[in-house]
Chains A and B, each alone.
Chain A
Amino acid sequence: MMTTSSDVLVVGGGMAGAVAALAAATRGRSVTLLRKAPGATALASGAIDLAPMGEQRHVTSVAVASATAGWLEAVASRSPSHPYCAVGPRGLALIGDAADMILGRLADAGLPHAPFDAKGRGHLVVDLTGKVRRVASAQASQKLEETEPGKRRIGVVRFRRHLSLDTGLTLAGLRAVFANVVPVEVDWPDEADGAFLLPVEIGRRLDDPRGRSALFKLLRTAVAGKRLTHLVLPPIAGLEHVSEVMRAVSDVTGTKAVETLGGEASLPGHRLDRALSRALEAAGVRLETNAHGASDGKLKRFPGAIVLASGRFIGGGLERRDRLRETIFDLPVDDGARPIKDEPLDVLTSRRGLGAHRVFRAGIRIDENLRPLDVGGKPFREGLFAAGSVIGGHDPQADFSGMGVAILTGYLAGLRAAEWKRS
């Protein structure tokens, strides 16, 4: 393998791998990043969650919502198996540095985010069903600007000619939180096959000033006389030029425009994935895509430091064929509390699909220095570090700590890998 000349090899190109590669590159190391294909990060909603902020996950009334100070530490102290706890208090304290680093790089790569806020009130975002929650950060286009409740008047854009961008549920959900929410209906996309456009195609269309002019004309008419303060759009505001698109929408409509979080075929996730690639290239990280043979012996013989950021089932870091296993080093897998091996899936899952499942807390175990542990609890191998959702003990989808864990552990693993020297 080509990679022997690098100091650090990162396996996995999602958020965790990218942060690790950038952190190591910042320390002057030569870094190669292997990725098979876009993984879970490319499917993400765009929100940067660290943990549920405050007592309730969703904001039921903006007036009374408040974030609880110290909630991040609370997560760490409540769940000893959580990566926030495993990295120790000194590791956890670096989350701000980690987030500032990656959000800065993403902004440089054309994808600005709301300023990272892990201590205060965070930022409000709107999800696909109109639920509102606080997050530490999100793509700038997704931040709902807070205004005085009495003056707020929210329009929800509905593209009448496109089914999957239908915001009916967003509208209904927002009405349960806010007083003045009205639909803004436009007959768009206006060409014959507009109904069949994919979110990414619509995003490209809006990137192009000529492509968006028809929509803007319709929007201007549709908002006229509605005295809106905010305008909620489905998550389609451009693939490459999101800031420009959002600014233009705000100007045309005289509102603060905001996108909902991404869902199935998430355009914000796609954007994030592209921006990460640009950031990696800008930092001089060598990217090897379509790198499918990551589990072969050459990787195991790599002389430098390795960051394992191969993800869970989507990324391919874990797989189950009768037995749950970590795919590259066959590291032991547990759910944070107990080892998992060949238990049947009815033991690893529960009756309620949207509830908690052991199999979705599964992953490898790490020490304070991000080193994967073997069955005896000792570091598995010199120079091996882990980051992101391949680490067990948390449920990135359900406990809202997915991106937070990726950023924190990616950063720490990148630093450790950069410092590591063969003894």
Chain B
Amino acid sequence: MFDLIVIGGGVNGSGIARDAAMRGLSVVLLEREDFGVGASGNSSWMVHGGVRYLFSDPTVTRDSCRDSGYIQKIASHLIFRIPFLMPTVGGRPGGHLMDRGYLYGVESFLGVYDRYQPLKHGKQSVRLSAKEAYDIEPGLRRDIVGAATLDEYGIDAFRLCVLNGLAACEKGADIRTWTEVERLLRDGSGRVRGVLARDRLTGDVEEIEGKVTVNAAGAWSPRLAGRNGLSVKMRPGKGIHVVLDRKISNYGIISQAVDGRDVFIIPLETSSVIGTTDDDFYGDPGQIEVTNDEVSYLLEAIEHLLPEIRKARVIRTYAGVRPTLYEYGRNESDLSRDHAIVDHAAEGAPGMLSMVGGKLAAYRMMSEEAVDLVEDALGRPRSKCRTALEPLPGGAPPLPDPALLSEKYETPPWETERLVHRQGSRAEDVLVLTKDEPALRAPVCQCEGVLGAELVWCMRNEHVRRLSDLMRRCRLGHGPCGGTRCARTAATIFARERGLDAEAAMAELVDFLEGLWRFRRPALDGHQLAQEELARGIWLSSAGLDEPARGGCR
């Protein structure tokens, strides 16, 4: 019997599991796929203050800024700064009075936001002349009158979820990915006493008992509740992103779409990312797809400020469903990003709470609030939450110097840098693997700079159950080659680590490649078609992947 069953391995679920485990509760976390596969990992990866909500939801802005500051402290390796430009377009040289007025407006708006910047160690906003803006961002269209800056931070959101899960595990929590909750178990009085869970890879079904269950399944929450006669009200919003090969811009740039919505492009890791859309979505969140129209909408919006964007190569897209708070009648973009915790006792189902809404940046605080309520429900005094004080795995400063590690372990410098970014203070534990197996010093994924050692480390230490989980551990296959160079080698290593036979190894490889194809397909165009032709040649005629259903040679 666990104290707490957490359903969902997104940032809320994993954050709650960590917080609860740190407070000494016995915890099991059940995730139907893998960490962050829903809204968390498929977000814009920004732990920003939510400048958008400054006037509508100032609490969200303040809380986000404060928690963004905490995340920087506990996961210093995963965080990166993203300065934004908000250019103002003018009609004539020098700028029209109205345009200048608008720029002043933006500036004073950001001036208010600046009051929150110290909370997240952000820099104050600056007003740039057109010339200054062109100096730092030469690709901007030629008729801007100036730009204002805005300081934000980004984070590898998949890893943020993984690290919370790992931290929970280190404090004794039981972490089960690829495990789906089939239904809730209720006793005679209606109390939720646990769940019936099915391991989707082995097919094993198990009754898991817990004193309290928290439904943190994000966009899946209403369905899960509904299947069990309970209700979670939500206004799910689909958001997509488009990923471009390489960093197209030096800074984040905020532009406007045809409908006046703000759309941004940010340099992110090795690529540029354009986001995002916001549309009501009531389908199965697991079946979400990106459409050609959504991709065009985003590209058009950025083309408004970066006219050359059409020459860039779109390498993939991604999509998620935001579990936004329910509200009737408002436009999707105007919905509150605040959160709520629903106690199902009111529906005759005590012992169960559901999390709704919220933002990536504020996950830690929301988790704290949820675990406080869990302790109330357990009838024990609220203990002190320490999640803002103790670093996440690998987040303890000081971070190792990649140059020194690279020299010591004879690994290539850039890949070693990427390793330190993802693994922080654990980077050396990873590199130690190369002492026994020198081949692991070589990169497997050259697009994202993943060493063989990092793959093996993740397989052994980070709850990797499928090859595709590695996309979320270390961006394997998320670069411009879409797995063409790395997938076979990664599958070879995976097969050896897990003792898989040919059929199982091929099934993993096919699952990995098809997962990538699903979100590459909507944006397939231009040079990407040549990449696709190459990949097909290799997978079909050199790797024999045309008969996956029959499992190859058997």
Binding site for B on A (CB under 8 A): 40, 43-45, 47, 49, 57-60, 127-133, 160-164, 166, 168-169, 172-173, 175-177, 192-193, 195-196, 261-266, 312-314, 316, 318-322, 344-346, 349, 351-354, 359-360, 396-398, 400, 402
CB pair B488–A359 under 8 Å, yes or no, is: no
User: B536's closest neighbor in chain A, by CB?
Assistant: A397
User: What distance in Å separates the Cβ of A46 from its nearest Cβ neighbour in chain B?
Assistant: 9
B283 proximal to A (CB < 8 A): no
Contact of B439 among A47, A162, A351 (CB under 8 A): A162
The distance from the CB of B541 to the nearest CB of chain A, in whole angstroms, is 6
Summed over the interface, the residue pairs from A and B with CB atoms below 8 Å come to a total of 190
Decide: A319 near B502, CB < 8 A? Known: A263-B488, A346-B521.
no
The complex places the Cα of A113 from the Cα of B499 at a distance, in Å, of: 37
The answer to whether B502 touches A169 (Cβ under 8 A) is yes
A40 with B514: CB separation less than 8 A = no
Name the residue of chain B whose CB is nearest to the CB of A352. Answer: B514
Task: Report A-chain residues with C-beta under 8 Å of the C-beta of B71.
Answer: none
- B505–A169 contact, CB under 8 A? yes
> Which of B532-554 touch A at CB < 8 Å?
532-534, 536-548, 552-554
Q: Does B410 contact A (CB under 8 A)?
A: yes
B428 CB to closest chain A CB (Å) equals 19
Report which B residues bind A (CB closer than 8 A).
Answer: 291-292, 310, 410, 412, 437-442, 444, 452, 484-485, 488-489, 491-493, 495-496, 500-503, 505-506, 509-510, 513-514, 516-518, 520-526, 529-530, 532-534, 536-548, 552-554
Contact A263 B543 (CB under 8 A): yes
Top-7 shortest CB links A-B: A353-B517, A131-B544, A172-B502, A397-B536, A176-B553, A313-B529, A313-B530
Residues on B with beta carbons closer than 8 Å to the beta carbon of A133? 544
With A263-B543, A265-B485, A360-B533: A322-B491 Cβ-Cβ less than 8 Å: no
Q: Are A345 and B536 in contact (CB under 8 A)?
A: no
Asked whether A45 lies within 8 Å of B553 as measured between CB atoms, the reply is: no
* Closest B residue, CB atoms, query A266: B542
A169, B488: Cβ atoms closer than 8 Å: yes
Interface contact B529-A163, CB-CB below 8 Å: no
Pair A344/B485 contact, Cβ less than 8 Å:
no
Instruction: State whether B495 touches A313 (Cβ < 8 A).
Output: no
Q: How far is the CB of A288 from chain B (nearest CB, A)?
A: 22
Taken together as a complex, chains A and B put the C-alpha atoms of A319 and B527 apart, in Å, by 8
Task: Please name all residues of chain A whose beta carbon is closer than 8 Å to the beta carbon of B410 when the two chains form the complex.
Answer: 192-193
Q: Which of B292, B489, B502, B546 contacts A130 (CB 8 A)?
A: B502
Across the interface, which residues of A come within 8 angstroms of B452, CB to CB? 163
Given contacts A49-B541, A128-B542, A322-B525, 14 further A-B contacts (CB under 8 A): A45-B542, A129-B544, A129-B545, A160-B437, A163-B440, A163-B493, A173-B502, A176-B552, A261-B542, A263-B538, A313-B533, A316-B530, A354-B539, A397-B537
Q: Which residue of B lies closest to A268 (CB)?
A: B542
21 chain-A/chain-B pairs, Cβ below 8 angstroms? A128-B542, A128-B544, A129-B488, A133-B544, A160-B439, A162-B442, A166-B493, A172-B495, A175-B502, A176-B553, A193-B410, A313-B529, A314-B533, A316-B530, A320-B529, A353-B514, A354-B514, A354-B539, A397-B536, A398-B540, A398-B546
A163 pairs with B442, CB closer than 8 A: yes
Contact B524 A264 (CB under 8 A): no
Which residue of the partner chain A has the closest CB to B514?
A353
Q: Residue of B at shortest CB range from A162?
A: B439
Question: Is the pair B521, A349 in contact by a Cβ cutoff of 8 Å?
Answer: yes
CB <8 Å contact, B538 and A264: yes
- A44: chain B residues at CB < 8 Å are 537
Contacts of A354 in B (CB 8 A): 510, 513-514, 517, 536, 539-540, 545-546, 548
When A57-B546, A354-B548 are in contact, do A40 and B495 touch as well, CB less than 8 Å?
no
B537 to chain A: closest residue by CB: A397
User: B521 to A345, Cβ gap below 8 A?
Assistant: yes
Q: Which residue of A lies closest to B506 (CB)?
A: A129
CB neighbours (8 Å) of A129 from chain B are 488, 502, 505-506, 509, 543-545, 552
Which residues of chain A have C-beta atoms less than 8 A from B537's C-beta?
40, 43-45, 396-397, 402
Chain A residue at minimal CB-CB distance from B290: A346
Q: How far is the CB of B453 from chain A (nearest CB, A)?
A: 10
B544 near A127 (CB under 8 angstroms)?
A: yes
Q: Whole-angstrom distance between the alpha carbons of A344 and B295 in the complex?
A: 12
Contacts of B539 in A (CB 8 A): 354
Distance (whole angstroms) from the CB of B396 to the closest CB of chain A: 30
Closest chain B residue to A160, Cβ basis = B439
CA of A312 to CA of B514 in the docked complex: distance in angstroms?
Answer: 23
Which chain A residue lies CB-closest to B551?
A: A176
Q: Please, which residues of chain A bring their CB within 8 A of the CB of B444?
A: 163-164
Whether B524 contacts A312 by the Cβ 8 Å rule is no
Q: Roughly how many angstroms separate A213 CA and B539 CA in the complex, as a whole number?
A: 33
Residues of B within 8 A of A322 (CB): 525
In the assembly, what is the distance between CA of A57 and CA of B544, in Å?
Answer: 9
**Contacts A57-B546, A353-B514 given; does A47 touch B541 at CB 8 Å:** yes
In the complex the two chains form, what is the Cα distance from A321 to B313 in whole Å?
11
